[in-house]
C-alpha cells in the first residue's frame, strides 16, 4: 500500500486530499487557523507547515500526499516558525482575553497557550478600528482579526452573499464590507456562518442575555419561553452531556430554575406551520400559480430572496416561521394578562434575532418575540446561574401547549420541513408509509436532495437545499429551464438549523449526531403528524378563530 512517513511512522494514503488530513488521521493535531474542510484551501496562516527530508517546508493543507514522502511535523525549526507566527499575530491583536466573547473558545488563545507564548516582542502599530455592532445578529471587531479569510470564504463560497471581503494590501489589509459601510447596511443576511468559522473574537454572535436576565428577575413580568427544535440536540457537548442527545427536559428544568414562568416547544409552532403550509401548497397546486412554493421558516433565506431575488417573493410561502407563529399565539393568549408578558425564543440561529425585530412581526410597535437567545447564550446563562446541568432532573413542557408532533421536531434538520409536510399530505397514515417517506431521499446532510411524491394523480417534484450557494445554483437551474420543482425547502445553514451559527461550534461528525438526535426524538414522540396534535386542533377551534391570517401569515412583498 502507498504510504507517507510521518515522524518516522508509515501512514497509509486512503484518499486524503492533503497531507493535513493524513497527518491528523495519524493522531497528530497539526495547528491551523485557515483550514476548513468545507471551504476552499487558502494556505494563508502557515501554521500547518511541515518539514521534508531535505529540510524544506511545505504547507500541509495544500500539499497532496504522495507515496514515499517523508515528513516531520514537530522539528525545532517548525516550533520556532509557529511561535514566530503566533507572536506576530498577537502583536497586532487586541489581547483583552478575559473580557472577550470568545474567551475559552478562541483558537489564537488556545495555540498561544499550546506553544507556550509568554511574551510578545513586537509593538502594535495598526489602527484601532471601531466595533461594528450595527447588525442584530453578529458583532465584528477587526482588532481581533487574524486575516485567515475563513469568514470571507464562508460568506462567498458557501453562502453566495459576499458581504465581506479583503480590503487594502500589506500591513493595511483588513476584512471589511464594501466601502466600510456598517454590516447592517450591506447585503449580509445575518446567517452568522462567518462567526461560526471565525477562530477568534473578530466576529461573534450578538448577545442579549442581560435583557433576558432583567426580565426573569422582574416580578412584574411574566416570561414565556419557547425552545427551537435544534436547540435540544445542540447543548450536549458543552454541558457534560453526550453530543446530539435530546436534552429538552433538562433545558426546561434549567429555565424554570432561572425564573421562567412558562416553557414551550417551538415544535408546536412548527405543527401550525405544517398545517398552513400544506394548505397553501394544495391551493397553489390547484391554481397552478406561484410554483414552486419556497419554504419561509429560515429568516436568512428570506433576506437572501429580498436582497438578491425579489422577483421570487411571490413564490415564498406566506406562512410565518414556527417561531413567529408561536410567538403571535403566545402574545395573543396573554393579551389580557395582568402582568406584562415577555416572549423569549431560544434558537440555534443568529438570523432569528433579525426576524424578531422585523416590523412585520410587531403589533402596535410591540414585537411578538421580545428576545431571541441563541443556544450559545442559553449555555452561558446556565453556567452563570451555577446550575449543575448534568444533575438536573428533566421537566415537562407546560400546559396548555404541551403537545408537539415528531413532524414538528424534525424541522430542525435539513429535509425535516419537507418530511413533515409530506406526512401531512400523505393519504396513507400507516407506520409503513411513515417509514417509506423517511427513506424517500429527504434525510441526510447533503446540500441538495431531490425527491418525488405522489399526490392524487400528480407526481410532485421536490427539492431540499441547505447553504445559500446551493439555493442559488438551484434557482439558476430553474430559471434556465433545466429543471422544475413544485416545492423547495431552503435552509441557509448547511445541514439546516442543527448547524445554525447560534449553536456551539462543532465538526461534521457533531453536526450529524445532532441530526440523528432529532430523528431519535421524533421516534420518541407518540404523535407523528402535525394534524394529530391536539393543541393545534384546539387552537384552530378557539384562539385562532377568525385570526389565522392575522396571526399565522405575513406578506414579505409589502
Ligand atoms: Fe429552526 Fe424553525 S426549524 S427555522 O431551523 O422552522 O432557528 O431548530 O426554530 O421558526 O420550528 C431555527 C430550528 C426553528 C422556526 C422551527
Ligand atoms: Fe456573510 Fe452570513 Fe456573515 Fe452576513 S452573517 S457576513 S451573510 S456569512
Ligand nearest to the CA of 496: 1
341-386 pLDDT, tens digit per residue, is 999 999 999 999 999 999 999 999 999 999 999 999 999 999 999 9
Is 497 one of the annotated active-site residues of the chain?
A: yes
pLDDT at position 51: 98
Asked if 360 is an active-site residue, the reply is yes
For the question of residue 317 being annotated catalytic, the response is: yes
- Is 457 marked active-site? no
Nearest CA to ligand 1 atom 12: 497
Side by side, which strands form the sheet with 262-265?
A: 262-265, 221-227, 340-347, 371-374
- 410 - beta bridge partners? none
pLDDT band at 171 (very low <50, low <70, confident <90, very high): confident
C-alpha to C-alpha distance for 69 and 78, rounded to whole angstroms: 18
Q: How far is the CA of 62 from the centre of ligand 2 (A)?
A: 26
Tell me how far the alpha carbon of residue 396 lies from the centroid of ligand 2, in angstroms. 36
Atom number in ligand 2 closest to CA 492: 2
- Residues having CB closer than 6 A to ligand 2 are 138, 154-155, 159, 161, 163-164, 188-194
CA dist 503 and 518 (Å) reads 15
Q: Is 80 exceeded by the pLDDT of residue 21?
A: yes
Q: State which ligand 1 atom lies nearest to the alpha carbon of 355.
A: 10
pLDDT-based confidence at residue 37 (cuts at 50, 70, 90): confident
Q: What is the pLDDT of residues 204-245, one digit of tens each?
A: 999 999 999 999 999 999 999 999 999 999 998 899 999 999
Cβ-contact 389, 254 below 8 angstroms: yes
What confidence score (pLDDT) does residue 124 get? 78
pLDDT for the residue numbered 125: 74
Confidence at 92, pLDDT banded by 50, 70, 90: confident
Q: Name the residue at shortest CA distance from atom 3 of ligand 2.
A: 194
Rounded Cα–Cα distance for residues 171 and 327 (Å):
48
What is the structure's pLDDT at 123?
80
How far apart CA 219 and CA 449 sit, in angstroms, is: 49
In this prediction, residue 161 has a pLDDT band, given cuts at 50, 70 and 90, of very high
pLDDT tens digits, one per residue of 283-324: 999 999 999 999 999 999 999 999 999 999 999 999 999 999
Classify strands 487-491 and 138-140 as parallel, antiparallel or unpaired.
Answer: unpaired
* pLDDT value, residue 472: 98
Q: Quote the CA–CA distance of 352 and 366 in Å, as a whole number.
A: 16
Give pLDDT, residue 255: 98
C-alpha 426 to ligand 1 mean position (Å):
23
Least distant ligand from the CA of 372: 1
Output the CA 201–ligand 2 centroid distance in Å.
15
The complex's ipTM? Answer: 0.95
* Catalytic residue (choose from 94, 191, 194, 497): 497
Confidence of residue 170 (pLDDT cuts 50, 70, 90): confident
68 has a pLDDT exceeding 90: yes
- 113 CA from centroid of ligand 1 (Å): 37
C-alpha closest to that of 197 among 238, 156, 143, 136:
156
Starting from the CA of residue 416, give the closest ligand. 1
Nearest CA to ligand 2 atom 7: 188
**Is residue 352 annotated as a catalytic residue, yes or no?**
yes
For the entire predicted model, the pTM comes to 0.96
Displacement of CA 306 from its chain's centroid (Å): 20
**Mean predicted confidence (pLDDT) in 499-517:** 96
Predicted pLDDT of residue 127: 74
User: What residues are in contact with ligand 1 under a 6 Å CB criterion?
Assistant: 228-230, 266-267, 269-270, 297-298, 321-323, 347-349, 352, 411-412, 496-497, 500
Strand blocks (E) in 41-183: 49-52, 57-59, 70-72, 138-140, 165-167, 174-176
From ligand 2's centre to the CA of 190, what distance in Å?
5
Q: Give the pLDDT of residue 340.
A: 96
pLDDT at 511: 96
The answer on pLDDT for 523 being more than 80 is: yes
306 in active site: no
Task: Identify which of 140, 157, 159, 198 to mutate to test ligand 2's pocket (most ligand atoms within 8 A of the CB).
Answer: 159
Higher per-residue pLDDT: 38 or 262? 262
Q: Are 78 and 51 in contact (CB under 8 A)?
A: yes
Distance between Cα 140 and ligand 2 center (Å): 11
Predicted pLDDT of residue 479: 97
Share of the chain above pLDDT 70, in %: 100
pLDDT of residue 38: 87
Q: Which three cell numbers stand for residue 2?
A: 502507498
Q: Among residues 297, 349, 493, 525, which one is catalytic?
A: 297
Amino acid at each position: 500500500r502507498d504510504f507517507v512517513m510521518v515522524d518516522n511512522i508509515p501512514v497509509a494514503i486512503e484518499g486524503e486530499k492533503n497531507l493535513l488530513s493524513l497527518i491528523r488521521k495519524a493522531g497528530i493535531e497539526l495547528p491551523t487557523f485557515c483550514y476548513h474542510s468545507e471551504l476552499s484551501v487558502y494556505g494563508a496562516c502557515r501554521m500547518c507547515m511541515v518539514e521534508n527530508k531535505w529540510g524544506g517546508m511545505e504547507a500541509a493543507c495544500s500539499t497532496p500526499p504522495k507515496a514515499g514522502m517523508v515528513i516531520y511535523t514537530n522539528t525545532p525549526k517548525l516550533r520556532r516558525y509557529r511561535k514566530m507566527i503566533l507572536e506576530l499575530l498577537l502583536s497586532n491583536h487586541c489581547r483583552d482575553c478575559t473580557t472577550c466573547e470568545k474567551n475559552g473558545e478562541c483558537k489564537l488563545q488556545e495555540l498561544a497557550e499550546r506553544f507556550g507564548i509568554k511574551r510578545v516582542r513586537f509593538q502594535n502599530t495598526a489602527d484601532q478600528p471601531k466595533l461594528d455592532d450595527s447588525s442584530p445578529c453578529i458583532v465584528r471587531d477587526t482588532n481581533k482579526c487574524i486575516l485567515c479569510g475563513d469568514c470571507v470564504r464562508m460568506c462567498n463560497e458557501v453562502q453566495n452573499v459576499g458581504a465581506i471581503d479583503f480590503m487594502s494590501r500589506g500591513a493595511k489589509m483588513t476584512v471589511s464590507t464594501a466601502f466600510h459601510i456598517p454590516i447592517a447596511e450591506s447585503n449580509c443576511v445575518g446567517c452568522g456562518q462567518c462567526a461560526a468559522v471565525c477562530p477568534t473574537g473578530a466576529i461573534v454572535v450578538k448577545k442579549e442575555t442581560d435583557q433576558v436576565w432583567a426580565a426573569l428577575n422582574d416580578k412584574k413580568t411574566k416570561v414565556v419561553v419557547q425552545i427551537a427544535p435544534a436547540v435540544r440536540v445542540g447543548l450536549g457537548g458543552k454541558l457534560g452531556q453526550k453530543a446530539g442527545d435530546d436534552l429538552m427536559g433538562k433545558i426546561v428544568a434549567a429555565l424554570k430554575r432561572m425564573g421562567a414562568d412558562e416553557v414551550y416547544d417551538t415544535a408546536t409552532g412548527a405543527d401550525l406551520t405544517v398545517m398552513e403550509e400544506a394548505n397553501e401548497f394544495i391551493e397553489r397546486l390547484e391554481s397552478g400559480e406561484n410554483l414552486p412554493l419556497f419554504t419561509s421558516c429560515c429568516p436568512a433565506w428570506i433576506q437572501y430572496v429580498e436582497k438578491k431575488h425579489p422577483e421570487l417573493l411571490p413564490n415564498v410561502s406566506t406562512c410565518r416561521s414556527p417561531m413567529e407563529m408561536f410567538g403571535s399565539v403566545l402574545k395573543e393568549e396573554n393579551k389580557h394578562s395582568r402582568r406584562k408578558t415577555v416572549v423569549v425564543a431560544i434558537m440555534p440561529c443568529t438570523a432569528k434575532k433579525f426576524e424578531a425585530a422585523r416590523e412585520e412581526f410587531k403589533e402596535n410597535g410591540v414585537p411578538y418575540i421580545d428576545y431571541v437567545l441563541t443556544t450559545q447564550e442559553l449555555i452561558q446563562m446556565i453556567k452563570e446561574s451555577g446550575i449543575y446541568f448534568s444533575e438536573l432532573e428533566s421537566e415537562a413542557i407546560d400546559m396548555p401547549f404541551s403537545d408537539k408532533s415528531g413532524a414538528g421536531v424534525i424541522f430542525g434538520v435539513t429535509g425535516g420541513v419537507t418530511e413533515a409536510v409530506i406526512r401531512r399530505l400523505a393519504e396513507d397514515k400507516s407506520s409503513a408509509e411513515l417509514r417509506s417517506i423517511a427513506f424517500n431521499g429527504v434525510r441526510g446532510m447533503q446540500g441538495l436532495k431531490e425527491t418525488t411524491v405522489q399526490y392524487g394523480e400528480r407526481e410532485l417534484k421536490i427539492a431540499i437545499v441547505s447553504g445559500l450557494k446551493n439555493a442559488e445554483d438551484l434557482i439558476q437551474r430553474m430559471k434556465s429551464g433545466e429543471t422544475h420543482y413544485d416545492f423547495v425547502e431552503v435552509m441557509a445553514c448547511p445541514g439546516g438549523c442543527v448547524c445554525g451559527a447560534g449553536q456551539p461550534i462543532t465538526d461534521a461528525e457533531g453536526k450529524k449526531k445532532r441530526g440523528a438526535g432529532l430523528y431519535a426524538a421524533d421516534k420518541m414522540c407518540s404523535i407523528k403528524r402535525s394534524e394529530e396534535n391536539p393543541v393545534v386542533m384546539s387552537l384552530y377551534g378557539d384562539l385562532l378563530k377568525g385570526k389565522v391570517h392575522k396571526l399565522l401569515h405575513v406578506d414579505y412583498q409589502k
